[in-house]
C-alpha cells in the first residue's frame, strides 16, 4: 500500500477541484470516480464526489504533501454516481461555466448530500387485493355512491404498485385510500427492487388510439432512429395528439427494456397528462417534482438508478436522474420558461437534455404548440428533424382568435360590452368560459386620490400589490408586506384607493355581473393550500363552475373540454417591451391560452381585448398564426444579429450602492475580447430590488465557441478585479429573461 490521493468536487462556489489523501485503511476496496466521500472543508464536514484518482492527478506534485488532508470517511453505500452521470454533470458545469461542486449539489437529492448515514427502506406502494363475493358487492355500491373512490380503485387495479406520491399528485387523498384499505379492497406493500420488472408484463394496450396518418408518420420516423442520437421537434397545436405520439414511441423503447425520461414544465399543474401515462403503461413510473419530500425524492433517484423505474416523469431537475438504461428523452412544452432555472446554476432543462441525449447517443423529442425561436431555427437549419401536426386529433376544430378594440367599447371592470355579451351567450348554452388575466392580487397598486401619491415598496421602488382578502400590501418583487396606510403620508388625505385590477378583484366583479354563475379563480394565491389545485380542477371538470378566472397557471397544459370561450383581458402586456424576447413570449402565451378552448367536439372562440388592434404583431399572430409570426420574427432577429443568430451571456452584478456594480462591470469592458462584443453595463430593468442595485453586462459572439473562450478570459479577469469582493455577481449563459 502506498499513498493515494483523490481529487474531489466540494459543494462550494469555487471553480476548482480539491485534493485529499486516502488513508491506507480506506484504500480497499478500490476507490472509484463517482464515489461519495465525507471530507472536512473549513470547519464543516461535507459530502464530496470523487472526480479523479491518483495517477490522473497532476497537481499533487505542486502541493505540499504534508498539508493535504485525509478524507474523513467513505460512504460505503450503493449510491455512487455512474461514470456516465459524472461525465454528464461535468459537461453541464463546463457549458455553463458553473462551479462543479455546486452542479453536483443541485443534481443530488438532499439525503445524498448529508454526511449522516442513510436508513433506506423500500418505498411502500399500493396493490389491489383479490375480492370475494361480499367485497364485490361493496365495490358495486362504491361505484354508484363514491365515484372518486371508485376511480381510485380502478387506477390501482390498472396500475399495480402505484406510490402515494403519484396518487397524491393525481389529486387523491389519504382518506380515500384508507376507506378502500379498510374495506379490504387494496393493500400497501413494500416495493420489490426488481430490475426490468416491465419485461414480462404486457405493456398495457388499452386506451391506445388508432393513429392519424400525420401521427403515424412521426412515430415511424422516430422509431427508425431509436438506436442513435437524433433530435425531433413535434410542432403541433394543443390537442393535435402530441402526447399520443410520445406514448406510442415510448412503447417501443420500453419494449426494448430501456427507460424513458419525460420532462414537463410543472407536473403539479398537469395531473391529467400524468394520468394518461399511468393508464397507458402498467410499468413502474416515478415522479420527480417539488412537491415530494426528501425520502420520496431519494426513492425516485434509487428507482432510476437500479432500473426499477421504467419511466421517470419530472420537472427540469429530473434530467439529473441517474437512469441506468435510458433509451429516450421527451421534453414536453419545450418553449416553457420554467424549464430554465433562474438562480445559482442557471441551466435550461431542454438544452442539457439535448446534451445528455448526445452523450448517451439516444433520441430526444421536443414537443410544443409554440416552439421557441431557438428550436425552430435549429429545425429549419436541419439540426433537428421537424414534424408537424396540423389537425386537431379526434374531431375537434381549431379555435378562432379575434381582437376587441377596447377604445371602441363601453368598459366595465375591465370587461368590454362585446365580451360581456359573448360570455352571457356562452353561459346560456351551458358551456364554460375562461377569463385570462395575468395579474394576481386585488389591484396592482394603491394611490391617493387627492395628490396621486403611489404606495411603493422602499426596497424595490415599485408599487405594492393590494390583496383584499388578507387586507395587506404585498410587494411581488421582494415579498415584503405591510398594512394599508389609513392616511396619505404626502397630503394627509384618507382617500386612498386601489388602482387597476388583478384576478382577486376580477373574481368579485364578475360574480356581481353574473350573479347566477359559479365563478372559480385559479392563481398562485387561490391554490396555495396543498391539494387545492387538483380539487379546483376536478370541480371544473365536474362542471361545478361555469366561469374560470386565472393567471398563466391556467394557460398551461390543462384540458378543459367544456370551455368554448377564452377571453384575454389585457393582450397588450408585451407589445412595447425593451426585451427582444417579450413578443415571442406574448405570442406563446396567447396561443397557449387559446389552446384551452374547444378541445372536445365543440368549436372554441378566443377574444383578445387590446388597445392596439392594428399592431402588426397582433395582426400577424391572429391572421397568420404562430408559425408565420415566428418566421417573420426570426428574419428580424437575423438582421439584428440577435439569438438564435448569435450567442449571449449575461453577467449580473448587484450591491447596496449603485456605483459598485456599475464600476465592477465597466472595469471588465476595458479590455476587448476577440470576436466578442459587450453591451452595457446598463441598469437592470428593475434597477432596485430588495434594497440592492442591479446592473447588467451582456457578452455576445457569433459562435458558441467564441463566446466560450471569451467567458474563460472574463472569469480569469474577474478573479483579480478590485471590485469583485464589493459586489455579488452571477453568470447566465443563454439568458432568456433580461428583465431582472
Which of 98, 159, 242, 280 is close enough to bind ligand ADP by CB under 6 A? 242
Q: Is 397 near ligand ADP (CB under 6 A)? A: no
Contacts of 617-622 with C-beta under 8 Å, sequence gap 24+, read 617/575, 617/583, 617/586, 617/587, 618/403, 618/571, 618/575, 621/401, 621/587, 621/590, 621/591, 622/401, 622/402, 622/403
Site for ligand ADP contains 604 (CB under 6 A):
no
Closest contact distance (angstroms) between CB of 494 and Zn ion is 9
Residues 6+ apart with CB under 8 A from 448: 488, 490, 491, 493, 495, 496
Residue nearer to Zn ion on the CB measure, 521 or 689: 689
236 contact, one of Zn ion, ligand ADP, none, CB 5-8 Å limit per kind = ligand ADP
Q: Does 270 bind ligand ADP (CB under 6 A)?
A: no
The rounded distance, in Å, linking the Cα atoms of 92 and 9 is 14
The site for Zn ion (CB under 5 A) is made up of 448, 450-451, 453, 457, 459-460, 475, 477-478, 488, 490-491, 493
SS3 label, residue 736: coil
If binding is defined by CB under 6 A, does position 111 make contact with ligand ADP? no
Is 249 a binding residue for ligand ADP by CB under 6 A? The answer is no
Task: Label residues 38-50 b or e (16+ Cβ within 10 Å = b).
Answer: bbebeeeebbbbb
Residue number, 391 or 609, with CB nearest to ligand ADP: 391
Under the binding rule (CB under 6 A), the answer on residue 365 touching ligand ADP is no
Nearer of residues 242 and 688 to ligand ADP, judged by Cβ: 242
551 binds ligand ADP (CB under 6 A): no
Nearest distance from residue 245's CB to ligand ADP, in Å? 7
Strand pairing category for 411-412 and 415-416: antiparallel
Nearest distance in Å: CB 637, ligand ADP? 27
Kindly state the smallest distance separating residue 22's Cβ from Zn ion, in Å: 50
Asked if 211 touches ligand ADP (CB under 6 A), the answer is yes
- The two beta strands, 73-74 and 36-41, are antiparallel
List Cβ<8 Å contacts ≥24 apart for 658-663: 658/683, 658/687, 658/693, 658/695, 660/693, 660/723, 660/726, 660/727, 661/693, 661/694, 661/695, 661/727, 661/729, 662/695, 663/723
- What distances in angstroms separate CA 686 from CA 450, 513, 727, 730, one per listed residue? 28, 37, 17, 16
Name the one range near ligand ADP by CB under 6 A: 67-75, 210-218, 291-299, 315-323: 210-218
What's the rounded Cα separation, in Å, for the pair 166 and 283?
Answer: 13
The residue behind cell 389585457 is 570
Q: Is 248 in the site for ligand ADP (CB under 6 A)?
A: no
Binding residues with ligand ADP: total (CB under 6 A): 15
Q: Which of 149, 240, 270, 534 binds ligand ADP (CB under 6 A)?
A: 240
Q: Closest approach of Cβ 449 to Zn ion, in Å?
A: 8
Interacting residue with ligand ADP among 4, 19, 105, 243 (CB under 6 A): 243
479 binds, among Zn ion, ligand ADP, none (CB under 5 to 8 A by kind): none
Name residues whose C-beta falls within 8 Å of residue 559's C-beta, 6 or more positions apart in sequence. 239, 272, 599
Q: Which is nearer to ligand ADP, 240 or 375 (CB)?
A: 240
* 275 is a site residue for ligand ADP (CB under 6 A): no
CB of 212 to ligand ADP, least distance (A): 5
Residue 370 within binding range of ligand ADP, rule CB under 6 A: no
Q: What does the angle CA 336 – CA 340 – CA 344 come to, to the nearest 5 degrees? A: 160
Query: Residue 491 binds which entry of Zn ion, ligand ADP, none, with Cβ cut-offs from 5 to 8 Å by kind?
Result: Zn ion
Q: Name which of 328 and 473 has its Cβ closer to Zn ion.
A: 473
Compute the radius of gyration of the chain from its Cα atoms.
28
Q: How far apart are the first and last CA of the chain?
A: 55
Beta strand 692-701 with 647-655: parallel, antiparallel or unpaired?
Answer: antiparallel
> Which listed range, 211-219, 294-302, 404-412, 467-475, lies at the site for ligand ADP (CB under 6 A)?
211-219
Question: Among 694, 652, 655, 691, which residue's Cα sits nearest to residue 461?
Answer: 691
- Measured from the CB atom, is 230 or 391 closer to ligand ADP? 391
For residue 626, the SS3 value is: helix
Q: From the list Zn ion, ligand ADP, none, which binds 460 (C-beta under 5 to 8 Å, kind-based)?
A: Zn ion
169, 200 contact by CB (below 8 A): no
**Spatial CB neighbours of 404, under 8 Å, sequence gap ≥ 6:** 416, 418, 419, 607, 608, 609, 610, 613
Q: Does 601 bind ligand ADP (CB under 6 A)?
A: no
Write down the least CB distance from residue 438 to Zn ion, Å. Answer: 19
> Which position among 215, 249, 368, 378 is part of the footprint of ligand ADP (CB under 6 A)?
215
**Residue 416 cell numbers, joined:** 368590454
Should residue 239 be labelled a site residue for ligand ADP when binding is judged by CB under 6 A?
Answer: yes
- Of 456 and 562, which CB lies nearer to Zn ion in the complex structure? 456
The verdict on 427 binding ligand ADP (CB under 6 A) reads: no
Give the interface with ligand ADP as residue ranges (CB under 6 A). Answer: 209-212, 215, 236, 238-244, 393-394
Amino acid at each position: 500500500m502506498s499513498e493515494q490521493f483523490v481529487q474531489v468536487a466540494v459543494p462550494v462556489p469555487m471553480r476548482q477541484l480539491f485534493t485529499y489523501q486516502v488513508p491506507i485503511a480506506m484504500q480497499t476496496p478500490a476507490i472509484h470516480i463517482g464515489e461519495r466521500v465525507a471530507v472536512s472543508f473549513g470547519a464543516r464536514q461535507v459530502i464530496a464526489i470523487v472526480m479523479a484518482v491518483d495517477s490522473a492527478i497532476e497537481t499533487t506534485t505542486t502541493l505540499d504533501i504534508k498539508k493535504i488532508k485525509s478524507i474523513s470517511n467513505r460512504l460505503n453505500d450503493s449510491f455512487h454516481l455512474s461514470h456516465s452521470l459524472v461525465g454528464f454533470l461535468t459537461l453541464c458545469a463546463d457549458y455553463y461555466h458553473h462551479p462543479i461542486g455546486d452542479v453536483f449539489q443541485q443534481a443530488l437529492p438532499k439525503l445524498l448530500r448529508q454526511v449522516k448515514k442513510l436508513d433506506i427502506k423500500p418505498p411502500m406502494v399500493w396493490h389491489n387485493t383479490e375480492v370475494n363475493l361480499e367485497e364485490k358487492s361493496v365495490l358495486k355500491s362504491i361505484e354508484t355512491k363514491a365515484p372518486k373512490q371508485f376511480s381510485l380503485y380502478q387506477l390501482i387495479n390498472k396500475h399495480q404498485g402505484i406510490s402515494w406520491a403519484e396518487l397524491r399528485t393525481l389529486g387523491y387523498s389519504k382518506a380515500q385510500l384508507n376507506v378502500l384499505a379498510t374495506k379490504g379492497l387494496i393493500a400497501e406493500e413494500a416495493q420489490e427492487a426488481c430490475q426490468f420488472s416491465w419485461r414480462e408484463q404486457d405493456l398495457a394496450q388499452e386506451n391506445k388510439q388508432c393513429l392519424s396518418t400525420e401521427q403515424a408518420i412521426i412515430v415511424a420516423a422516430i422509431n427508425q432512429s431509436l438506436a442513435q442520437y437524433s433530435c425531433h421537434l413535434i410542432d403541433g397545436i394543443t390537442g393535435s395528439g402530441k402526447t399520443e405520439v410520445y406514448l406510442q414511441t415510448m412503447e417501443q423503447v420500453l419494449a426494448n427494456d430501456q427507460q424513458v425520461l419525460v420532462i414537463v414544465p410543472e407536473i403539479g399543474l398537469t395531473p391529467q397528462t400524468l394520468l394518461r401515462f399511468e393508464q397507458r403503461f402498467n410499468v413502474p413510473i416515478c415522479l420527480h417534482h417539488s412537491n415530494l419530500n426528501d425520502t420520496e425524492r431519494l426513492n425516485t433517484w434509487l428507482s432510476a438508478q437500479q432500473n426499477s423505474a421504467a419511466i421517470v416523469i419530472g420537472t427540469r431537475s429530473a434530467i439529473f436522474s441517474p437512469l441506468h438504461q435510458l433509451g429516450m428523452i421527451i421534453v414536453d412544452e419545450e418553449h416553457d420558461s420554467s424549464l430554465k432555472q433562474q438562480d445559482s446554476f442557471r441551466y435550461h432543462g431542454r438544452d442539457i437534455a439535448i446534451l445528455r441525449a448526445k452523450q448517451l447517443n439516444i433520441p430526444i423529442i421536443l414537443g410544443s404548440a409554440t416552439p421557441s425561436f431557438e428550436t425552430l431555427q435549429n429545425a429549419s437549419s436541419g439540426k433537428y428533424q421537424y414534424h408537424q401536426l396540423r389537425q386537431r386529433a379526434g374531431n375537434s376544430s381549431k379555435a378562432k382568435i379575434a381582437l376587441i378594440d377596447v377604445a371602441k367599447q363601453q368598459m366595465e371592470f375591465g370587461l368590454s360590452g362585446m365580451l360581456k355579451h359573448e360570455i352571457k351567450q356562452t353561459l346560456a348554452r351551458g358551456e364554460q368560459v375562461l377569463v385570462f388575466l395575468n395579474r394576481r392580487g386585488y389591484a396592482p397598486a394603491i394611490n391617493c386620490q387627492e395628490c396621486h401619491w403611489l404606495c411603493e415598496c422602499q426596497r424595490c421602488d415599485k408599487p405594492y400589490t393590494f390583496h383584499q382578502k388578507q387586507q395587506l400590501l404585498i410587494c411581488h418583487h421582494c415579498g415584503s408586506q405591510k398594512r394599508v396606510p389609513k392616511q396619505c403620508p404626502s397630503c394627509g388625505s384618507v382617500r386612498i384607493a386601489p388602482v387597476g385590477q388583478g384576478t382577486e378583484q376580477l373574481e368579485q366583479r364578475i360574480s356581481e355581473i353574473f350573479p347566477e354563475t359559479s365563478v372559480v379563480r385559479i392563481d398562485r394565491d387561490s391554490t396555495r393550500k396543498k391539494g387545492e389545485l387538483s380539487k379546483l380542477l376536478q370541480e371544473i371538470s365536474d362542471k361545478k363552475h361555469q366561469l374560470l378566472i386565472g393567471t398563466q397557471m391556467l394557460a398551461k397544459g390543462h384540458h378543459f373540454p367544456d370551455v368554448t370561450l377564452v377571453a384575454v383581458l389585457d393582450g397588450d402586456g408585451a407589445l412595447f417591451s425593451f426585451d427582444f424576447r417579450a413578443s415571442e413570449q406574448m405570442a406563446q402565451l396567447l396561443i397557449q391560452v387559446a389552446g384551452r378552448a374547444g378541445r372536445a367536439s365543440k368549436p372554441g372562440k378566443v377574444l383578445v381585448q387590446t388597445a392596439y388592434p392594428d399592431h402588426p404583431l397582433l395582426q400577424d399572430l391572429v391572421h397568420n398564426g404562430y408559425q408565420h409570426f415566428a418566421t417573420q420574427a426570426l428574419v428580424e432577429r437575423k438582421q439584428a444579429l440577435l439569438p438564435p443568430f448569435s450567442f449571449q451571456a449575461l453577467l449580473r452584478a448587484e450591491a447596496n450602492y449603485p456605483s459598485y456594480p456599475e464600476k465592477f462591470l465597466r472595469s471588465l469592458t476595458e479590455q476587448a475580447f476577440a470576436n466578442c462584443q459587450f453591451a452595457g453595463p446598463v441598469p437592470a430593468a428593475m434597477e432596485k430590488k430588495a434594497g440592492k442595485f442591479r446592473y447588467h453586462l451582456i457578452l455576445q459572439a457569433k459562435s458558441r465557441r467564441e463566446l466560450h473562450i471569451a467567458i474563460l478570459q472574463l472569469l480569469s479577469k474577474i478573479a483579480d478585479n478590485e471590485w469583485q469582493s464589493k459586489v455579488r455577481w452571477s453568470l447566465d449563459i443563454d439568458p432568456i429573461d433580461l428583465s431582472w
